[in-house]
């Protein structure tokens, strides 16, 4: 168990998918509120150009997946390039506020058995809380927004993962597309 002053390195991976304003809003909210000892990575298609010259504040990670790689392959590229012990996947359109990582990082530090967590203080672009995802046979994949509802896994829109757990699982399975978070949750 690490000492009381131990700081766990965090890597925030944002795949550059969707509309530019969502990417910009998410990157800006992260850069304004990023915790200490963290790196921010923006994984992007080769054609992406940094409109704000932010390479001093975040690491741009190009994908060789063609003009429009899918979000899962971009997350895998970012995760592979990341240096942190904890990976935070964050999709464009998600907004963060000061301290949004604190509880998750504390849980990873306090208990080495924790493999994945959903954020407790996070909202989507419509300012609705995001708690994780669940799966129901009749309804399919569903966002969990109420604290009393059970969560199967963190959503890849905003989930925290221990690096060694993702490595043990050999990354996100790209063949599942938007269901990759459900599939990873079931494997974990």
Q: How far apart are CA 65 and CA 109, in angstroms?
A: 35
**pLDDT by position in tens, the chain (length 188):** 455 555 679 999 999 998 889 999 999 999 999 998 899 999 988 766 666 677 788 998 988 766 667 889 999 999 999 999 999 999 999 888 898 888 889 989 999 998 988 776 555 555 666 666 666 667 777 666 665 566 667 888 889 999 999 999 898 998 988 888 888 888 87
Q: What is the mean pLDDT of the chain?
A: 82
pTM: 0.84
Give the 3-state secondary structure of the chain: CCCCCCCCCEEEEEECCCCHHHHHHHHHHHHHHCCCCEEEEEEEECCCCCCCCCCCCCEEEEECCCCCCCHHHHHHHHHHHCCCCEEEEECCCCECCCCCCHHHHHHHHHCCCCCEECCCCCECCCCCECCEEEEECCCEEEEECCCCCCCCECCCCEEEEEHHHHHHCCCCCHHHHHHHHHHHHHHC
Digit-coded pLDDT (tens) for 59-110: 989 887 666 678 899 999 999 999 999 999 999 998 888 988 888 899 899 9
């Amino acid at each position: 168990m690490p000492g009381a002053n131990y700081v766990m390195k965090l890597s925030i991976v944002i795949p550059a998918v969707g509309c530019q304003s969502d990417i910009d809003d998410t990157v800006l909210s992260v850069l304004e509120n990023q915790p200490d000892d963290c790196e921010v990575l923006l994984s992007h298609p080769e054609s992406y150009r940094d409109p704000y010259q932010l390479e001093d504040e975040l690491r741009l990670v190009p994908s060789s997946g063609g003009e429009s790689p899918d979000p899962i392959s971009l997350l895998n590229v970012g995760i592979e390039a990341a240096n942190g012990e904890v990976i935070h996947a964050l999709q464009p359109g998600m907004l963060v506020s000061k301290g949004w990582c604190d509880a998750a990082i504390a849980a990873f530090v306090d208990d080495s058995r924790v493999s994945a967590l959903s954020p407790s203080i996070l909202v989507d672009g419509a300012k609705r809380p995001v708690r994780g995802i669940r799966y129901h046979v009749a309804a399919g994949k569903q966002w969990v927004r109420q604290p009393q509802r059970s969560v199967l896994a963190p959503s890849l829109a905003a989930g925290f993962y221990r690096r060694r757990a993702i490595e043990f699982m050999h990354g996100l399975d790209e063949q599942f597309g938007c269901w990759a978070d459900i599939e990873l949750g079931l494997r974990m």
